[in-house]
Chain A
């Protein structure tokens, strides 16, 4: 539902049904709402059957990359005699994205259920839920819920009397966006700097503590019990004609819309319906200027692109951007786009782990060029410089943080060049003091 607003008729409420319902937080409350039935059902199935069901549903990773979840689970080695791990990525830090936070705040047991189910499916010894350090409230809610789940026997030595051992451990981050990158998260969990690792090896071969590991986003794991309960066919049908993108997706909408919030849509919903109808459109007297649809790391879209965009993995790519984590930043005509792009570049410069040269130096330099343009001291050659720098920063590093910094810059210059030129020509007054 469009939390904090009432559910909109065009939403398809599955994961967000109990957002805002404090009664759903407790174990008993969750059981009353039909909770843990998906896990119980799963514990009666073989891991292979669970993985097949998830595969058949078409569920794809909700953290941003959109990798098929069932396939990912099937990569885990079988009977290899090694410990396996499940990591739940609850390090939600992508600007514009705030859906996992709500899942954990309102329906902690849904996440525990999803984690337990996946742990069983991949034969994980332990599931670690890595929660970003700033999420103090979700942490407290999750801490209580995990204790309740152990006490009730839903997880622990003998989950729901199945004889299956399921352990869930909460791990708190300490302020690093990059730990949302899966291998950086594993390093962080191991007590290291959150540096992304080179792949291969992939986590299913050598992940957390060097052992086979699956890592899934909160929203992905929460969807799994629903799929087992209602069947892959039901989930697969939740789309608008594109069988590659199925199910519901939580879209966090923020910025200049009337009703920012989390909206759960069926894959394939038109973007303009989401913005202009569900979110109530722009503020009075304002028009849409730009949208960053998938968290801050994806290309910026123009109103024209928004109008034709279908919200699923392929649809947003076709419209010139990416669905990413589903964090949508909406900007109206009052927005100084150059300033906002600088602000994003500064974010990436702040969060770069410092490993790769292009990212460490490039994100900071990009920020400085943008700051200079905003201060009125930009040079005509700065836009070409920004584009060339962005080219050097794209596809050349271990992870995609560097690419993420480049994406808004490149798309911003290509699609909104006039905004930059207004600063360069002096038509627009400086909005930053000299740097």
Chain B
């Protein structure tokens, strides 16, 4: 048997063109900058504000584009490579654009035992997403499997954007999607 190759990694993560998106609009202006500035005194280093700063970029842009990496690096006096290394460690930062509503389904053991796979199928069917990680053609949804959401007694939990939904069954899926336009 010939070993297959597993794609992914550097080629996927690194944009093809050198230099970053020239059209990037800075995030850290006005109220968002004020929010970040208010954080600095709470920590002895600027670097400690890296995770919060990346959250702010994601809230503002829906994901963390290359320009956001550059901007965060500049604001926190870090290198873009350093920021990228940290960014890619944490699974909640989007390295690519995602649908308007980002749905994470827990499928770790306790949820798997409670039927999470069926909830995943229902979500893919109802959102029109062709596969996990893909965005629906209308740009409305992206569905991914995630590891333990920490609500194992409320199988199956979903995180839709910042809304934490418990006890989701395949039957409930069509109804709950309606509130996300």
Complex contact flag A–B (Cβ < 8 Å): yes
List residues of chain A with CB under 8 Å of any chain B CB. 4, 83, 92-98, 101, 126, 132-137, 167, 169, 171-177, 188-194, 209, 252-256, 260-262, 296, 327, 329, 331, 335, 339-340, 343-344, 347, 350-351, 353
The chain B residue with its CB closest to the CB of A189 is B48
Distance to closest chain B CB from A167 (angstroms): 8
> Which of B78, B147, B152 contacts A347 (CB under 8 A)?
B147
Whether B42 and A191, one on each chain, are in contact in the complex, defined by CB atoms closer than 8 angstroms, is no
Q: A98 CA to B52 CA in the complex, in Å?
A: 24
The chain A residue with its CB closest to the CB of B151 is A98
Distance to closest chain B CB from A10 (angstroms): 18
The chain B residue with its CB closest to the CB of A101 is B150
Which residues of B from 85 to 112 have beta carbons under 8 Å from A? Answer: 85-86, 89-93, 104, 107-110, 112
Whether B42 and A126, one on each chain, are in contact in the complex, defined by CB atoms closer than 8 angstroms, is yes
Distance to closest chain B CB from A107 (angstroms): 17
Whether B86 and A260, one on each chain, are in contact in the complex, defined by CB atoms closer than 8 angstroms, is no
Which residues of B from 147 to 169 have beta carbons under 8 Å from A? Answer: 147-155, 159, 162-164
Whether A95 and B152, one on each chain, are in contact in the complex, defined by CB atoms closer than 8 angstroms, is yes
> Which of B47, B78, B163 contacts A136 (CB under 8 A)?
B163
Q: A98 CA to B106 CA in the complex, in Å?
A: 13
The chain B residue with its CB closest to the CB of A335 is B113
Q: A255 CA to B52 CA in the complex, in Å?
A: 34
The answer to whether residues A175 and B150 also contact, given A209-B45, A335-B113 and a CB cut-off of 8 A, is: no
Whether B108 and A176, one on each chain, are in contact in the complex, defined by CB atoms closer than 8 angstroms, is no
Q: Which residues of B lie under 8 Å from residue A252 when comparing CB positions?
A: 152-153
> Which of B49, B50, B148, B154 contacts A95 (CB under 8 A)?
B148
The chain B residue with its CB closest to the CB of A292 is B109
Q: A344 CA to B45 CA in the complex, in Å?
A: 37
Q: Which residues of A lie under 8 Å from residue B42 when comparing CB positions?
A: 126, 167, 169
Interface centre among B113, B150, B155 (most CB of A within 10 A): B150
The chain B residue with its CB closest to the CB of A2 is B153
Whether B153 and A262, one on each chain, are in contact in the complex, defined by CB atoms closer than 8 angstroms, is yes
Distance to closest chain B CB from A53 (angstroms): 30
Q: List 17 additional A-B contacts (Cβ < 8 Å) besides A96-B109, A191-B78, A262-B153.
A: A95-B108, A98-B153, A98-B154, A101-B150, A135-B164, A169-B42, A172-B51, A173-B51, A173-B90, A173-B92, A176-B89, A190-B47, A191-B48, A252-B153, A254-B153, A256-B113, A327-B152
